[in-house]
């Protein structure tokens, strides 16, 4: 992955030996390929891959692979959603039926499946969903659009921002046990933190 | 089957929930020689093995089981405002350890809103002092606001975080007083625990044990004094005797149901689960739920408004560094006749890690932020500073916990949590957002995002002298059932405008003293 941020040569994983074992094993496991989805079908995973990439404007395959694995695991087996608004289907149903509606919706509106659309139209269709404006109406009558968008966003963002490649890119030095952070005045950095490169 | 100590015995006290209040009660009552069983729905974690420096994997420190949310401003639950596991919310709280002020107990008298508490600041003052000393709260030599100005048992934290320095600079330029926050985080060694290393993961569980939690402080002391603390035990019902007194609880562990008999039952399961348990325990004698003759069980729940303001700076701030909250101001805490609202708020400099940062930004006021804009913001993550508020929210009868038709994995009706802000609440928020923005701008930032958010929960089983309009007396004893107590933030009458944990724990100490006194006089007898 090309690092596009202010810290092109920073790699947070170079510091992993300084982390406690539990943190190290959790973070390192995110770099392993996730396969054999337990909830998502092949077709659903394909659509989600595209949707999630648009939501965070990043197509890096290994990062998206982790995001999909996280979504699959959460929908397969989750201790709960924390909260769900009255009238909104449970997450597995919301996502499954939501993906169906996205595909059918674009077929009716553009005579093409979601994956066949160009990036501009895909993005526009997701924007419509985020504003509860996606059409045609009959296909969306049973799926609450904003909650669908919010659920997709929340599942995508929590996984995306947990991938060490993204940590490196944004200059997040991350785990700091047992060593902690020592230089914490404004403008100070510890020697192992990301340094801005001009 | 579990190894049990008190399986077939009637114990003096059973406590439901091992959080801020439950931990204190367990320690106090077992050290007084009473036989105590603590039942906690979540696991018993080992900070060294089970915590990690990671946001995603530590989400399960919150209560993730689904609640149905409703109202004009449906709440975000889970990690946002609850704990699950021994230690409860203290495992992942920011450890800001503020006292309420005298005015917090008298909203009706001072401002003609809400209700007065049946107790005042002076009733809690000795308990605040006791609990702060017991956990060696660190804080400034002089705290500028409220009824207590320090000194705190331990010196204030030093150094702070970049975001805290930024906040204090902004406050200085505007003539707003700021202070290092009083924290339940060590600034020097105490009872074998080390001082904080500014790792920054208070909300994911403290691995070095520098931050207090009842998991590492009170529960081990309770166990040492003989308490039986059982994890992964979900209490499903409070059991009634024929004489109108409670006789114990039933609970589920790994799919099997057990009973625990007790002379006294204390519910410390917080603002959603405590009312839910009372409502789910309804029977022929109490068809509307236990202790609910007033109809107030589940009503009058409150949160703190907790809007976040993010500003972008020309230089790096690095919000991930250091304890999340290290600097604070309470200059806007009390009612001000110049405002178009009553009551007030606390402002904190508040750090953020990438998941929290991006989740917040994506829910920004004015429409979701995603795609290219989110990505660009993330690439500039290190250039953002943040201030957050803890705003008082007035109680309203319609903000409440009720039961739904949907069942959880135990076959129990799920809780429905209904919440809408009132007019005073939104005016207060607008004022606070303005102040937070001006502080960030005075420090050299440009405000980019305002995030609607809430923190903490209070109310739902409020205390009062009038048994027709409240659930418990000031000791948490229910008006209807003398050997059933409630001791957690659900007994708050108003929310206050600061972090509630110090008040929860002080109330727990006071309830413990009351129960010990009653026990001495043999006034607490079991169901006949």
CATH of the domain at B131: 3.50.50.60
Q: Is residue B526 part of a domain?
A: no
Residue A198 is encoded by which pair of tokens?
A: 């001009």
DSSP-assigned letter for residue B105: G
Substitution target in B368, B385, B454 with the highest count of A β-carbons within 10 Å is B368
Strand B10-16 relative to strand A83-85, pairing: unpaired
Interchain pair B66, A55: CB under 8 A: no
In tens, the pLDDT along A7-29 reads: 999 999 999 999 999 999 999 99
Give whole-number Cα distances, B323 to B87, B160, B184, B198, B237, in Å: 19, 8, 11, 5, 39
* Of the candidates B470, B495, B402, B453, the residue with the CA atom closest to the CA atom of residue B76: B453
B79 CB neighbours in chain A (<8 A) are: 82
Cβ-contact B328, B96 below 8 angstroms: yes
Burial class from Cβ neighbours inside 10 Å (0-12, 13-18, 19+) for residue B461 reads buried
Q: Is residue B396 part of a domain?
A: yes
Cα B47 to Cα B58: distance, rounded to the nearest angstrom = 11
* Of the candidates A114, A116, A120, A118, the residue with the CA atom closest to the CA atom of residue A152: A114
Residue A189 is encoded by which pair of tokens?
A: 């950095």
DSSP-assigned letter for residue B75: P
Check residue B466 and give left, alpha or beta (phi > 0: left; psi -120 to 50: alpha): beta
Interchain pair A82, B77: CB under 8 A: yes
Cis preceding linkage at B96, omega within 30:
no
Residue among B68, B198, B318 whose CB faces A84 most closely: B68
Closest CA of chain B from A150, distance in Å: 9
* Of the candidates B527, B519, B512, the residue with the CA atom closest to the CA atom of residue B25: B512
Cα B126 to Cα B484: distance, rounded to the nearest angstrom = 25
Length of chain B: 528
For residue B527, what pLDDT is reported? Answer: 67
Cis preceding linkage at B25, omega within 30:
no
Cα B226 to Cα A20: distance, rounded to the nearest angstrom = 33
Beta bridge partners of B260: B249
For residue A1, what pLDDT is reported? Answer: 43
Q: At what angle do helices A91-110 and A119-130 cross, to 10 degrees?
A: 130
Containing structural domain, residue B290? 11-49+57-521
* B401 is annotated as contributing to ligand binding: no
Cα A185 to Cα B114: distance, rounded to the nearest angstrom = 43
Cα B203 to Cα B93: distance, rounded to the nearest angstrom = 6
Cβ-contact A51, A126 below 8 angstroms: yes
In tens, the pLDDT along A43-96 reads: 999 999 999 999 999 999 999 999 999 999 999 998 899 999 999 999 999 999
**Residues A83, A87, A92, A97: what is their CA dihedral angle, to the nearest 10 degrees?**
-150
Interface ipTM > 0.95: yes
A81 CB neighbours in chain B (<8 A) are: 64, 66
Q: Is residue B480 part of a domain?
A: yes
Residue among B68, B78, B382 whose CB faces A170 most closely: B382
Cβ-contact B48, B79 below 8 angstroms: no
Cα B224 to Cα B240: distance, rounded to the nearest angstrom = 31
Residue B496 is encoded by which pair of tokens?
A: 């206050």
Residue among B66, B78, B354 whose CB faces A167 most closely: B354
Check residue B192 and give left, alpha or beta (phi > 0: left; psi -120 to 50: alpha): left
Cα B505 to Cα B486: distance, rounded to the nearest angstrom = 13
Given a cut of 80, whether residue A2 has pLDDT beyond it is no
Q: Is residue B89 part of a domain?
A: yes
* Of the candidates B87, B79, B90, B47, the residue with the CA atom closest to the CA atom of residue B229: B87
A80 CB neighbours in chain B (<8 A) are: 64-66, 78
Average pLDDT over residues A99-119: 97
**Count: domains in chain B:** 1
* Of the candidates A17, A22, A13, the residue with the CA atom closest to the CA atom of residue A165: A13
**Residues in contact with A142: Cβ distance below 8 Å, sequence separation at least 6, in sequence order:** A97
Cα B228 to Cα B37: distance, rounded to the nearest angstrom = 5
Residue B502 is encoded by which pair of tokens?
A: 């110090």
**In 3-state terms, what secondary structure has residue B325?**
strand
A161 CB neighbours in chain B (<8 A) are: 55, 354-355, 357-359, 378
**To which residue do tokens 């933030």 refer?**
B489
Q: Is residue B1 part of a domain?
A: no
**In 3-state terms, what secondary structure has residue B430?**
helix
Residue B514 is encoded by which pair of tokens?
A: 């009351």
Cα B516 to Cα B3: distance, rounded to the nearest angstrom = 28
Closest CA of chain A from B44, distance in Å: 17
Closest CA of chain B from A108, distance in Å: 25
A26 CB neighbours in chain B (<8 A) are: 52, 54, 57
Q: What are phi and psi of A185, to 5 degrees?
A: -70, 160
Cβ-contact A57, B371 below 8 angstroms: yes
Residue of chain A minimizing CA distance to B443: A186
For residue B522, what pLDDT is reported? Answer: 73
For residue A19, what pLDDT is reported? Answer: 97
Cβ-contact B204, B354 below 8 angstroms: no
Residue ranges of the domains in chain A? Answer: 31-162
What's the average pLDDT block by block, 10 residues per block, for chain B (528 residues)?
88 98 98 98 97 97 97 96 97 98 98 98 98 98 98 97 98 98 98 97 98 98 98 98 95 97 98 98 95 98 98 98 98 98 98 98 96 98 98 98 96 97 98 98 98 98 98 98 97 98 98 94 69
Q: Is residue B4 part of a domain?
A: no
Residue of chain A minimizing CA distance to B47: A22
**Exposed e or buried b for every residue in B198-219, given b needs 16+ CB within 10 A?**
bbbbbbbbbbbbbbbbbbbbbb
Given a cut of 80, whether residue A38 has pLDDT beyond it is yes
Interchain pair A187, B320: CB under 8 A: no
């Amino acid at each position: 992955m090309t690092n596009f941020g202010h810290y092109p040569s920073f790699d947070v994983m170079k510091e992993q030996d300084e982390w406690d074992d539990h943190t190290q094993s959790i973070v390192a496991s995110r770099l392993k390929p996730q396969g054999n989805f337990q909830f998502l079908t092949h077709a659903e995973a394909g659509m989600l891959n595209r949707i999630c990439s648009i939501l965070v404007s990043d197509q890096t395959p290994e990062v998206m692979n982790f995001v999909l694995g996280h979504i699959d695991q959460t929908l397969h087996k989750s201790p709960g959603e924390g909260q769900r608004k009255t009238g909104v289907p449970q997450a597995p149903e919301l996502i499954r039926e939501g993906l169906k509606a996205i595909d059918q919706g674009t077929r009716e509106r553009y005579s093409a499946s979601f994956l066949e659309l160009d990036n501009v139209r895909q993005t526009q269709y997701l924007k419509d969903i985020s504003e509860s404006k996606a059409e045609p109406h009959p296909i969306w009558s049973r799926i609450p659009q904003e909650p669908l968008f919010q659920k997709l966003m929340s599942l995508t963002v929590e996984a995306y921002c947990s991938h060490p490649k993204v940590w490196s890119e944004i200059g997040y030095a991350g785990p700091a046990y047992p060593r902690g952070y020592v230089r914490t005045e404004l403008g100070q950095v510890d020697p192992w933190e990301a340094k801005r490169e001009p | 089957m579990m190894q049990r100590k008190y399986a077939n015995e009637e114990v003096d006290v059973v406590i439901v929930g091992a959080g801020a209040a439950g931990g204190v009660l367990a320690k106090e009552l077992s050290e007084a020689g009473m036989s105590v069983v603590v039942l906690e729905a979540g696991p018993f974690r080992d900070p060294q093995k089970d915590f990690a420096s990671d946001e995603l994997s530590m989400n399960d420190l919150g209560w993730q089981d689904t609640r149905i949310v409703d109202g004009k401003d449906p709440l975000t639950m889970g990690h946002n405002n609850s704990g699950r596991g021994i230690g409860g919310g203290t495992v992942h709280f920011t450890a800001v350890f503020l006292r309420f002020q005298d005015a917090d107990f008298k909203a009706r008298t001072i401002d003609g809103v809400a209700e007065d508490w049946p107790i005042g600041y002076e009733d809690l003052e000795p308990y605040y002092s006791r609990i702060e000393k017991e956990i060696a709260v660190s804080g400034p030599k002089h705290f500028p606001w409220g009824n207590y100005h320090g000194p705190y048992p331990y010196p204030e934290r030093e150094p702070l975080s970049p975001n805290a320095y930024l906040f204090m600079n902004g406050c200085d330029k505007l003539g707003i007083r700021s202070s290092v926050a009083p924290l339940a985080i060590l600034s020097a060694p105490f009872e074998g625990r080390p001082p904080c290393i500014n790792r920054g993961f208070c909300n994911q569980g403290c691995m070095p044990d520098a931050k207090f939690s009842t998991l590492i402080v009170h529960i081990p002391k309770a166990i040492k004094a003989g308490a039986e603390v059982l994890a992964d035990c979900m209490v499903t019902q409070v059991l009634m005797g024929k004489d109108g007194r409670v006789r114990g609880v039933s609970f589920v562990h790994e799919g099997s149901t057990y009973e625990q008999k007790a002379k006294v039952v204390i519910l410390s399961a917080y603002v959603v689960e405590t009312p839910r348990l009372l409502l789910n325990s309804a029977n022929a004698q109490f068809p509307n739920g236990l202790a609910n003759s007033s109809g107030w069980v589940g009503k009058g729940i409150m949160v703190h408004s907790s809007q976040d303001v993010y500003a972008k700076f020309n230089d790096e701030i690095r919000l991930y560094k250091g304890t999340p909250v290290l600097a604070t101001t309470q200059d806007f805490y009390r009612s001000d006749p110049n405002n178009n609202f009553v009551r007030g708020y606390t402002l904190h400099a508040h750090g953020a890690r990438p998941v929290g940062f991006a989740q917040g930004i994506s829910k920004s006021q004015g429409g979701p932020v995603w795609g290219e804009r989110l990505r660009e913001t993330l690439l500039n993550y290190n250039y953002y500073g943040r201030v957050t508020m803890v705003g008082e929210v007035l109680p309203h009868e319609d903000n409440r916990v009720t039961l739904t038709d949907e069942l959880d994995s135990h076959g129990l009706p799920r809780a429905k949590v209904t919440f809408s802000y009132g007019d005073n609440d939104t005016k207060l928020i607008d004022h606070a957002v303005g102040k937070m923005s001006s502080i960030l701008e005075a420090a050299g930032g440009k405000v980019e995002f305002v995030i609607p958010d809430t923190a903490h929960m209070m109310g739902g089983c409020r205390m009062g002298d009038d048994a027709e309009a409240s659930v418990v007396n000031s000791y948490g004893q229910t008006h209807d059932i003398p050997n059933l107590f409630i001791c957690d933030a659900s007994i708050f009458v108003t929310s206050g405008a600061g972090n509630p944990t110090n008040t929860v724990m002080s109330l727990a100490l006071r309830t413990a003293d009351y129960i010990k006194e009653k026990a001495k006089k043999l006034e607490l007898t079991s169901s006949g």
